[in-house]
Chain A
Amino acid sequence: MFAKALATLIVTFSLSTAALAVEQAKPVAQPTAAASQAAPATAPAAVTTAAPASAPVSAAPATAPAPAKVKPNRAITITMFMAIIVVTLGVVVWAAKRTTSAADFYAAGGGITGLQNGWAIAGDYMSAASFLGMSGLISLYGIDGFMYAVGPMFSFIAILLVVAEPCRNAGKFTLGDILSFRAAPKTVRGVAALSTVTVSLFYLIAQMVGAGKLMQVLLDIPYKVSVIGVGVLMVGYVVFGGMKATTWVQIIKAGLLMTGTVILAFLVMAKAGMNPVGFFTDIVNSPLIQDHVRMNVLKDAVAKPGFDYGQRFMEPGLFLKNPLDQISLGIAWALGAAGLPHILMRFFTVPSAKEARKSIVIALFINASFFFLINLIGFGAALYLTPQLISSVDKGGNMATLLLAQKMGGGAGTIGGDVFLAFICAVAFATILAVVSGLVLAASAAIAHDVYVNIIKGGNADQDTQVRVARITSLFVGIAAIVMGLAAEKENVVALVALAFAVAASGNFPAVMLSLFWKRFNTAGVVGAIVVGTVSALSLVMISPVMTYPQKIANDAKKVITTLEQKQVEGAVLTEKDLTALDKARADFKKNDGGTSMVGLKAPIFPLKNPAIVSLPLGLLAAILGTFMFRDRRAEEMFDEIEVRQITGLGISKASDH
């Protein structure tokens, strides 16, 4: 079948780009490396890798507790997981019976209310990484972690003001529908589909790897089993239940996630006597937090006299180092979310622009409350668990929320602690399932609706065929995601989510905006924006510091060797830890000396981790140049129509119309 071949082709393309991008810096447990690399992990991304190595061996505080492990009660946790699986599968069975047309499959027949869609969008957006990773960042780096959470919260503003309603008014199911309105449909749909599949798969792989690692850490379920399990469930939701099931899975997940977050934040504040000023004063005065900031973060072996290390936890710059990188990341947040295909797609599930507006406002409120509460959870974890304990369980701090749940529920081994920890684990599990389902749906909609129905069939396919093709495509996208998730086990996938946002901000966002608001914008402009935006974002990441540079690892290893050998020469007896470190450094040096990165570089050329500050202007420039070079009268003639449609909603595409 041709669709299959095409799907394979697109998937192969994305696989190769993804494989390039997953090439990643392995954490180097070494002071110099940590200092120069301790820039932001970029996004609500892979759960277990959200932060750079923070605790160099030599600077570990003497008081650090022995490395611990989160030990949920398996019976309770698995029961809760099962409950989630049973409920969601029930939803799928219910939705499957009601999914008969393409509009049902892609847009739940336009029958979702603004309130429901608001919860579902919030559900799409609050990933396990924000739930686990951001509170972890706050617990280890203080206010910088909280600052990090502002981006995803704020990204709804652009969606609310300039994207949601116009897109609902002018679009149908996918990004391609909006972009192809007055441009050459086949070309534009092809490009849009390629971009959608790329962005969704980047995001998807990051989630799959995060899911696999989380299950492995929590329940000792092998990585491969977890990835396949999550993948099978996700494929089941999408293939059988389409958008209706995906939406309800999102709603259930968002409800559970908010419940867990509210309870946990409430317990933290209750413990702090409902006094926020007292709470933060306790944090600043905590000797363990002060030690952590001094020794693990700032690496002052001897305290600077008069320096308030506790207050430093409340000041910026412990985690986010390069201001330009922050601004670049800010661009990806502020504009990228509005270009994410799986978010765009959600506007088409509601019947009108008014409902789309309502849903974004609701999503914004839920999301902002969520990120605010995460700040209390993160600081609570720092105060009541200590950063030392959190980083001993996981260097990136990803277990902070879970450990805090256990502690607040009554502590390890108590029924309260076990039940609350199991509940929070189950919430994280539901979160992953819901997010991956939305992504699979977006990618397969691009392939089935844009490529198969509109390019290959020229828009002429009956409903049964459309739904069948959509289901087959979802199956293949799901399988591809599982295979890539398995292949990426050892990779650090943080960069992938950042990349998805950067591509969406640099390519999709200018294309969507200019389609809606610029009269002269045409086919060449759309293609220019998406191709140049995507390619420049990808290639800049390829030569940026997020890639692995063997020569750098070798140089760092060399420094360790020199330091330790010097110690030996001076007659000091090395501890066992130092000896192991020496052996490892020698091996690292031998393996990496003279090596180059994937694109043959010894050191990064592009200094920033996030490319948006350069790739967005490039995408925009390409859009403008393309438009002027290939003037298209028809596109200009049709501008009145798209403008009237997006502003007034006249002739809005109703689910029953197609």
Chain B
Amino acid sequence: MAVNYDWKAIAKNGKYLELKRKKRVFLFGWWFASTFYYFLLPFLSGYYPELFKIKIIGVINVGYLFILSQFVVAFFVAIIYTRVANNEFDRLTDELVREIG
């Protein structure tokens, strides 16, 4: 690697700390939330099957719609993450890199 960075100094940089905090809150927050939602599926279907049997649209029941909602959640997380990362995280990273020179 061509450049030798002063890692300790960067680790104390204000911009870096902001980026780190934002990333941590966003990434772990969404990760925990979506994982919790995912585990609702085996949990509810296993322990509360009656809930899944309630019919909503014709023969289509809560269970089927809940499975579909897992796909929607995955898409949603992917889209929102892409937007935030492309706009905010990448911008902050660029600013930080410029500041360090």
**Contact, CB under 8 Å: B35 / A316:** no
Q: Does A161 count as interface, using CB distance less than 8 angstroms?
A: yes
1/0 per residue, CB under 8 A from B, across A136-164: the answer is 00000001001100100110111011100
**Which residues of the other chain, A, contact B5 by a CB distance below 8 angstroms?**
644, 650-651
Which single member of A156, A283, A361, A648 contacts B93 (CB below 8 Å)? A648
Bound form: Cα–Cα A648–B98 in Å: 12
**Which residues of the other chain, B, contact A147 by a CB distance below 8 angstroms?**
41-42, 45, 63, 67
Which single member of B49, B67, B93 contacts A315 (CB below 8 Å)? B49
1/0 per residue, CB under 8 A from B, across A334-367: the answer is 1000000000000000000010011001001100
Given contacts A153-B70, A368-B75, contact A323 B43 (CB under 8 A): yes
- Shortest distance from the beta carbon of A451 to any chain B beta carbon, whole Å: 24
**Contact, CB under 8 Å: A323 / B46:** yes
1/0 per residue, CB under 8 A from A, across B1-42: the answer is 101010110110000100110010001101100110011011
Q: Which residue of B lies closest to A280 (CB)?
A: B59
Q: Which residue of A lies closest to B42 (CB)?
A: A326
**Contact, CB under 8 Å: B70 / A154:** yes
1/0 per residue, CB under 8 A from B, across A353-395: the answer is 0100110010011001001100000000000000000000000
Q: Does A330 count as interface, using CB distance less than 8 angstroms?
A: yes
Bound form: Cα–Cα A324–B5 in Å: 48
Bound form: Cα–Cα A146–B70 in Å: 11
Given contacts A314-B61, A317-B49, A650-B97, contact A357 B82 (CB under 8 A): yes
The secondary structure that dominates the B interface is: helix
Bound form: Cα–Cα A657–B2 in Å: 9
**Which residues of the other chain, B, contact A277 by a CB distance below 8 angstroms?**
57-60
Bound form: Cα–Cα A275–B12 in Å: 59
Given contacts A277-B57, A284-B59, A314-B59, contact A329 B31 (CB under 8 A): no
**Contact, CB under 8 Å: B8 / A640:** yes
Bound form: Cα–Cα A146–B61 in Å: 13
**Which residues of the other chain, A, contact B42 by a CB distance below 8 angstroms?**
147, 320, 323, 326-327, 329-330
Q: Does A649 count as interface, using CB distance less than 8 angstroms?
A: yes
Which single member of A372, A640, A645 contacts B71 (CB below 8 Å)? A372
Interface centre among A277, A364, A647 (most CB of B within 10 A): A647
**Contact, CB under 8 Å: B41 / A643:** no
Q: Does A583 count as interface, using CB distance less than 8 angstroms?
A: no
List of 10 A-B pairs having minimum Cβ-Cβ separation, nearest first: A323-B46, A326-B42, A641-B7, A640-B11, A316-B45, A284-B59, A161-B31, A277-B58, A640-B7, A161-B27
1/0 per residue, CB under 8 A from A, across B77-94: the answer is 110011001100010010
Interface centre among B46, B57, B59, B97 (most CB of A within 10 A): B59
Bound form: Cα–Cα A146–B52 in Å: 14
**Contact, CB under 8 Å: A150 / B59:** no
Sample 22 A-B pairs with CB under 8 A, ordered by A number: A143-B67, A147-B45, A154-B74, A157-B78, A158-B31, A283-B59, A311-B55, A314-B63, A316-B52, A323-B43, A326-B46, A329-B42, A330-B42, A334-B39, A358-B82, A368-B74, A371-B71, A372-B68, A641-B7, A644-B5, A648-B19, A651-B3
Restricting to A281-322, which residues have a CB under 8 Å from any CB of B? 281, 283-284, 311, 314-317, 320, 322
Q: Which residue of B lies closest to A638 (CB)?
A: B7
Bound form: Cα–Cα A157–B32 in Å: 10
Interface centre among B7, B43, B49, B53 (most CB of A within 10 A): B7
The secondary structure that dominates the A interface is: helix
Bound form: Cα–Cα A276–B56 in Å: 13
**Which residues of the other chain, B, contact A640 by a CB distance below 8 angstroms?**
7-8, 10-11
Q: Chain B interface: which size bin?
A: 35 or more
**Contact, CB under 8 Å: A334 / B35:** yes
**Which residues of the other chain, A, contact B75 by a CB distance below 8 angstroms?**
364-365, 368
**Contact, CB under 8 Å: B59 / A311:** yes
**Contact, CB under 8 Å: A334 / B59:** no
Given contacts A161-B81, A277-B60, A644-B10, contact A334 B38 (CB under 8 A): yes
Bound form: Cα–Cα A147–B62 in Å: 12
Bound form: Cα–Cα A212–B39 in Å: 35
Given contacts A161-B30, A284-B59, A643-B11, contact A150 B1 (CB under 8 A): no
Bound form: Cα–Cα A653–B55 in Å: 54
Bound form: Cα–Cα A231–B71 in Å: 35
Q: Which residue of B lies closest to A165 (CB)?
A: B85
Given contacts A154-B74, A314-B61, A644-B11, contact A323 B27 (CB under 8 A): no
**Which residues of the other chain, B, contact A326 by a CB distance below 8 angstroms?**
42, 45-46
Restricting to A40-88, which residues have a CB under 8 Å from any CB of B? none
**Contact, CB under 8 Å: B57 / A150:** no
Bound form: Cα–Cα A154–B1 in Å: 36
Which single member of A154, A314, A647 contacts B20 (CB below 8 Å)? A647
**Contact, CB under 8 Å: B39 / A330:** yes
Given contacts A323-B47, A334-B38, contact A314 B31 (CB under 8 A): no
**Contact, CB under 8 Å: A317 / B77:** no
**Contact, CB under 8 Å: A649 / B1:** no
Bound form: Cα–Cα A651–B31 in Å: 27
**Which residues of the other chain, B, contact A156 by a CB distance below 8 angstroms?**
74, 78
Which single member of B16, B30, B63, B71 contacts A316 (CB below 8 Å)? B63
- Shortest distance from the beta carbon of B65 to any chain A beta carbon, whole Å: 11
**Which residues of the other chain, A, contact B58 by a CB distance below 8 angstroms?**
277, 280-281
Bound form: Cα–Cα A317–B68 in Å: 18
Restricting to A621-658, which residues have a CB under 8 Å from any CB of B? 640-641, 643-645, 647-651, 653, 657
Bound form: Cα–Cα A586–B72 in Å: 53
